[in-house]
Amino acid sequence: MQVNRLWHNARLATLRADRPGLGVVEDGLIAEREGRIVYAGSAADAPALETSERTNCEGRWITPGLIDCHTHLVFAGDRAHEFELRLAGATYEEVARAGGGIVSTVKATRAASEDELVASALPRLDALIAEGVTAIEIKSGYGLELPTEQRQLRAAKRLEKERRIDVRTTFLGAHALPPETRDKDMYIDLVCREMLPEVARSGLADSVDAFCENIAFSPEQVSRVFEEARRHGLKVKLHADQLSNLGGAALAARFGALSADHLEYTDEKGAETMAEAGTLAVLLPGAYYFIRETKLPPVDAFRRLKVPIAVATDCNPGTSPLTSILTAMNMAATLFRLTVEESIAGVTREAARALGRLDDIGTLEPGKFCDLAIWDIERPAELVYRIGFNPLHARIWRGV
Ligand code: DI6
Ligand code: FE
C-alpha cells in the first residue's frame, strides 16, 4: 500500500473505545495518506507499506492530538486587577455584581478590531499548540451585541488560517447581561430574535452555549435560547451548575445537548438525565481551582451512570486564565480525582465526542485525521503527573 508517511518504533495510546484503558499498542506503527490515518497498530500486523517518509520514533509514545473542547480564547484585555480584588477577599459573584467580571472584558472586546482579537488570541493558541493541541473549541460571549459577537466568531475562525489547527466555534450570546441592559428577558429576546438567527445564517457558529446561573440566566431563559438554536439546526451545550444547582445539567440533557460543562453543583438527578440523553460531562478544573470552589463535581455518579467525561482548560480571563491543557489534565486528576486514563481520554476521545467530531478526531484509528502528539515520556502517567513541564517531542496535524 502506498502511503505518504509513516511513524514506527513507537508505543501507541490509541484511545480506541473498543480497547481497554488507553488502547495501548507496544511496538506500534502509524501510516498516513492524504492527511488521514490508514493504519494504526502493531508493526507486526501492518500491511506492506511503501513510503518515502519513515520516521523512527525511537520508542516514544504517540497519543491522538490533544483537543481543548471548551475555551473562551478570543477576547481583549485581561482581568489581573480583579484577581487582586479577589485576593483581598471579594468572591467571583460579588465582583460580577459590582460590574466587574465578564462585563469588563465585554467593554475591552467591543473596542477591539478583528485583527486585534486575532493578535491577542495567537499567543494563547500558541501555548496550547506547543502542548500538542490539534483541535480547539472557541466561544463568543464577550460582545453581548451582534457586531462584536460576530467579530469574535470571525476572529476565532481566522485562527485556522494563521495556524495549522482545527477550530470549532460556539455562539455564547447568553453569557451575561450587557452593561446597557437591565432586563434579562429583554436581552434574551435580542439573543433569540436578532443575534442567533444571524449567526446561524452566516454559518459562523457550529453550536450554541449559554450560562445558566443566578448571576447569568435562568433555566427558562436558557430554554428560549435552546429552542431558537433548535429552530436553526444548531447543537447546544451549557455552562451548567457551576456555582449553584439550578438543574442546568438536566436542562441541557433534555435538549439533547452535546455536553453540560462545569457541573460542580450537579446532583444525581442531573447526572441520570445526562446519562439517558447521552450528554457528556465537560469538567473544567481550572475554573474550580482559580475561583477556589470547594464543591466537587459528582465524578463517581458520572462513572457509575456511564456519563462520558471530557476535560478542558475553559481558557477565559475571569475564572480560568489557563493556557495549558497538560495542567488542566493534572488538575482533573489532582483536584477531581480522575484517573490517568480518564484525564488523557478527557482531552482526546471524549473531547472529540463533546464536539460531535468523533468520526474525524480523538483516537488513533484508520479513517481519522492523522493528528498526533509524540511524547518524550516513559509512561502515559507522566502527561498527567507533572505540573508545568511539557514533554512534547513533535506535533503532527493532518499528517504533517
Ligand atoms: N462561567 C465562567 O466561569 C466563565 N463564563 C462562564 O459562563 C467566566 C467568564 C469570565 O469571567 O470572563
Ligand atoms: Fe466557560
- pLDDT tens digits along 54-112: 999 999 999 999 999 999 999 999 898 888 888 888 887 788 777 778 889 999 999 99
pLDDT at 289 over 90: yes
Q: pTM for this structure?
A: 0.97
Ligand nearest to the CA of 170: 2
DSSP classification of residue 337: -
Ligand 1 pocket, 287 CB below 6 A?
A: yes
Dihedral angle computed from the Cα positions of residues 80, 85, 87 and 90, in that order, rounded to the nearest 10 degrees? -130
Residue 262: in which H helix or E strand, if any? strand 259-262
DSSP classification of residue 193: I
In the chain, the amino acid numbered 141 is: G
Quote the ligand 2 centre to 61 CA distance (angstroms). 31
The sign of the torsion formed by the CA atoms of 368, 167, 384, 262 equals negative
Helix (DSSP H) and strand (DSSP E) numbers for the chain: 16, 15
CA distance 106 to 301: 36
Per-residue pLDDT band at 297 (split at 50, 70, 90): very high
Helix axes 102-110 and 146-162, enclosed angle (nearest 10): 80
Pocket test of ligand 1: the residue of 102, 289, 291 to mutate, having most ligand atoms within 8 Å of its CB, is 102
pLDDT tens sequence across 257-275? 999 999 999 999 999 999 9
Pocket test of ligand 1: the residue of 316, 320, 322 to mutate, having most ligand atoms within 8 Å of its CB, is 316
Ligand 1 pocket, 313 CB below 6 A?
A: no
Residue 173: in which H helix or E strand, if any? strand 166-174
Q: Are strands 392-396 and 372-375 parallel, antiparallel or unpaired?
A: antiparallel
Q: How would you classify residue 135: left for phi > 0, otherwise alpha for psi between -120 and 50, otherwise beta?
A: beta
Ligand 1 pocket, 399 CB below 6 A?
A: no
